[in-house]
């Protein structure tokens, strides 16, 4: 029986998606604001951990208070995989925009509620229990927040600018962190340390509600991403039940068919977020508790470092569009391994300028990771499972990163070795290096399962020509391979006495 070859329609100019600049800017703003609010809470919590330790765990020693407060920060990461699975499946079924509107509501309300919790002196053991419940609600919503936001931006971005556009997502993270830390310092300075410990620590958490309302308004006004809309259109044409039932691929199938992408995702998330939490969540406590700087002094140093990171972040994203994502992961990992100990030698020198220099080294290395992560992760999976796969892999690996502040605080206390954070970062650097070597390059390529995307018509023509040239090159490569195999076959036939051409 002769097999019929199904005729595939040639890709033409109409198949290239032209991204509207206004919609793109709105998408990036809405996604970044939600991410900023997530990290606003992380920033506030990291910088008031010393106060929360005294308020919610008053009977413990200062060292145990710090560990307990940071443990409350880390425990919600156990909930994030559940949130990732839940919101990931819904995001692949109902769309990215709807889920991002839900996550920002949960996140803003739970953060606001932290400011309402009475102290241990007022309600006893219920105080830390309520704090933990609020943090777990945050963890559940955040499980779908960052991955959804990164997918949203990636699916809205032109192929040639995805790195630059994606870098603004973590730009929002840093802005949120700076804002959270700045609010803590400002309130503490205005009302004084004593009043801050009494009631002032609550005020930063109250700001989450108005920020959440603004974020909800921006996200609710957005349209669905072009890539997901194309996926919906295909289902409507060929598989109406598929649209109604959602993704039919289980996590087991994802792990079997996309295991390389899953491992790359896990490695990149661990390398990025361990460094992130080490520098921006743990270091304020390290400077104040272990190096005996005043809380405000340590906070101001970190804020200055983070402001510097804001200028580097979009530059890294823009350069990754030109040179690729993998070089930044590889170079960042090597730099982290080589500079971790020298950086902490500077940080523990008791000289302000050298402390700043040590933290700046770690910040620049961190920018190598954050500059490419939001554009790299969504490109690893096809559209129909992108949210489910990425949210699952991201939040499973974030368990390791989320435990960083607690584990490092315990290691330093147990060993009395101030260089434990450096050794921890060196191990993470090895993971990052292996990831960078093994991951596929995705810069300037369409997302899997989506048509090419361009900023304008001229760029669309260039992309289409490059696509056709690439097909032509692949045809030539296949023809050469066929010729090589044919020659090999001829040689083998010549060696066999009973086989004739």
Assign 3-state DSSP to the chain and report helix, strand, coil percentages, each to 5: 80, 0, 15
d(CA 193, CA 120): 19
Residue 2, pLDDT score: 47
DSSP 18: E
Using alpha carbons, select from 276, 274, 249, 271 the residue that is nearest to residue 392. Answer: 249
Task: Report the pLDDT value the prediction gives residue 436, as an integer from 0 to 100.
Answer: 94
Residue pLDDT, tens place only, 24-62? 888 888 888 877 877 787 668 766 776 777 777 776 666
Comparing 6-10, 22-26, 427-431, which segment has the lowest mean pLDDT? 6-10
* pLDDT number for residue 314: 92
Give the pLDDT band of residue 324 (cuts 50, 70, 90): very high
Give the residue-averaged pLDDT of 135-143.
Answer: 84
State the helix-helix crossing angle for 49-56 and 62-74, rounded to 10 degrees: 110
Average pLDDT over all residues of the chain: 82
Q: Give the whole-angstrom CA distance, residue 214 versus residue 105.
A: 10
Q: Provide the pLDDT confidence category of residue 5 given band limits of 50, 70 and 90.
A: low
Give, in order, the Cα–Cα distances in Å from 172 to each of 176, 314, 409.
6, 11, 27
Distance CA 81, CA 486 (A): 51
| pLDDT band (50, 70, 90) for residue 243 | very low
Domain residue ranges of the chain, discontinuous segments joined by +? 18-226+260-455, 461-501
Three-class secondary structure of residue 249 per DSSP:
coil
Of 380 and 38, more confident: 380
**Residues 213-240, mean pLDDT to the nearest whole number:** 71
More confident residue, 46 or 447: 447
Q: How far is CA 37 from CA 204, 441, 485, in A?
A: 11, 31, 58
Q: Which of 47, 44, 50, 55 is nearest to 199 (CA)?
A: 55
Give residue-wise pLDDT tens across range 331-349. Answer: 999 999 999 999 999 998 8
pLDDT exceeds 70 at position 447: yes
- The answer, yes or no, to whether residue 249 has pLDDT greater than 60, is no
Cβ atoms within 10 Å of 438's Cβ, excluding its own = 12
Say if residues 442 and 379 touch (Cβ distance below 8 Å).
yes
| Residue 429 confidence class, pLDDT cut points 50, 70, 90 | very high
Given a cut of 50, is residue 1 above it in pLDDT? no
442: helix, coil or strand? coil
Look at strands 453-454 and 17-18 and give their pairing.
parallel
pLDDT higher than threshold 90 for residue 395: no
Q: How many CB atoms lie within 10 A of CB 167?
A: 29
Residue 134 sits at φ, ψ, to 5 deg, of -65, -40
Residue 24: the pLDDT is 83
Q: Calculate mean pLDDT across residues 409-423.
A: 89
| 159 vs 155: CA distance, rounded Å | 9
Mean pLDDT of 315-324: 93
Nearest of 195, 190, 191, 150 to residue 172 by alpha carbon: 150
Please tell me the predicted confidence (pLDDT) of residue 73.
Answer: 66
CATH topology for 18-226+260-455 is Growth Hormone; Chain: A; (1.20.1250)
User: Does residue 221 carry a pLDDT above 80?
Assistant: no
Of 3-12, 222-231, 263-272, the poorest mean pLDDT is in 3-12
Q: Which residue has the higher pLDDT, 179 or 289?
A: 179
Residue 180 clears pLDDT 60, i.e. is over it: yes
Q: Give me the phi and psi of 453, to 5 degrees please.
A: -125, 135
What's the pTM?
Answer: 0.79
């Amino acid at each position: 029986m002769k097999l019929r070859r199904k005729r595939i329609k040639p890709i033409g100019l109409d198949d290239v998606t032209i991204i509207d600049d206004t919609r793109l800017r709105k998408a990036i703003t809405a996604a970044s604001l939600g991410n900023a609010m997530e990290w606003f809470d992380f920033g506030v919590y990291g910088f008031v951990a010393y106060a929360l330790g005294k308020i919610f765990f008053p009977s413990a020693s200062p060292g145990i208070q710090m560990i307990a407060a940071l443990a409350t920060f880390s425990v919600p990461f156990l909930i994030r995989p559940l949130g990732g699975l839940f919101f990931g499946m819904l995001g692949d079924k109902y769309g990215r925009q709807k889920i991002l509107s839900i996550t920002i509501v949960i996140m803003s309300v739970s953060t606001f509620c932290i400011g309402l919790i009475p102290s241990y002196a007022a309600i006893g053991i219920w105080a830390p229990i309520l704090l933990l419940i609020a943090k777990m609600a945050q963890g559940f919503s955040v499980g779908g927040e960052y991955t959804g936001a990164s997918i949203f931006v990636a699916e809205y971005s032109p192929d040639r600018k995805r790195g630059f556009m994606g870098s603004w997502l973590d730009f929002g993270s840093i802005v949120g962190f700076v804002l959270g830390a700045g609010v803590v310092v400002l309130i503490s300075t205005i009302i004084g340390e004593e009043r801050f410990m009494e009631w002032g620590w609550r005020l930063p958490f109250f700001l989450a509600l108005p920020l959440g309302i603004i974020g909800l308004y921006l996200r609710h006004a957005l349209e669905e991403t072009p890539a997901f809309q194309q996926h919906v259109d295909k289902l409507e044409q060929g598989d109406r039940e598929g649209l109604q039932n959602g993704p039919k691929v289980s996590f087991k199938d994802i792990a079997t068919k996309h295991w390389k992408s899953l491992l790359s995702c896990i490695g990149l998330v661990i390398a990025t977020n361990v460094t992130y939490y080490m520098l921006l969540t743990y270091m304020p406590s390290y400077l104040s508790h272990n190096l005996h700087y005043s809380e405000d002094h340590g906070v101001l140093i970190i804020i200055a470092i983070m402001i510097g990171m804001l200028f580097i972040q979009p530059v890294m994203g823009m350069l990754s569009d030109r040179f690729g994502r993998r070089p930044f992961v590889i170079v960042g990992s090597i730099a982290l391994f080589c500079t971790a100990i020298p950086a902490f030698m500077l940080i523990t020198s008791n000289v302000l300028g050298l402390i700043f220099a040590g933290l700046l080294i770690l910040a620049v290395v961190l920018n190598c990771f954050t500059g490419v992560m939001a554009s790299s992760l969504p490109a690893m999976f096809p559209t129909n499972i992108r949210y489910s796969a990425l949210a699952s892999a991201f939040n499973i690996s974030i368990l390791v990163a989320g435990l960083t502040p607690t584990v490092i605080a315990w290691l330093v206390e147990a060993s009395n070795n101030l260089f434990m954070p450096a050794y921890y970062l060196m191990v993470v650097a090895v993971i990052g290096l292996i990831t960078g070597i093994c991951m596929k390059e995705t810069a300037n390529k369409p997302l899997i399962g989506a048509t090419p995307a361009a900023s304008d018509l001229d760029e669309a023509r260039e992309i289409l020509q490059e696509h056709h040239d690439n097909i032509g090159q692949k045809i030539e490569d296949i023809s050469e391979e066929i010729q090589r195999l044919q020659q090999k076959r001829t040689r083998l036939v010549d060696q066999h006495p009973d086989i004739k051409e």
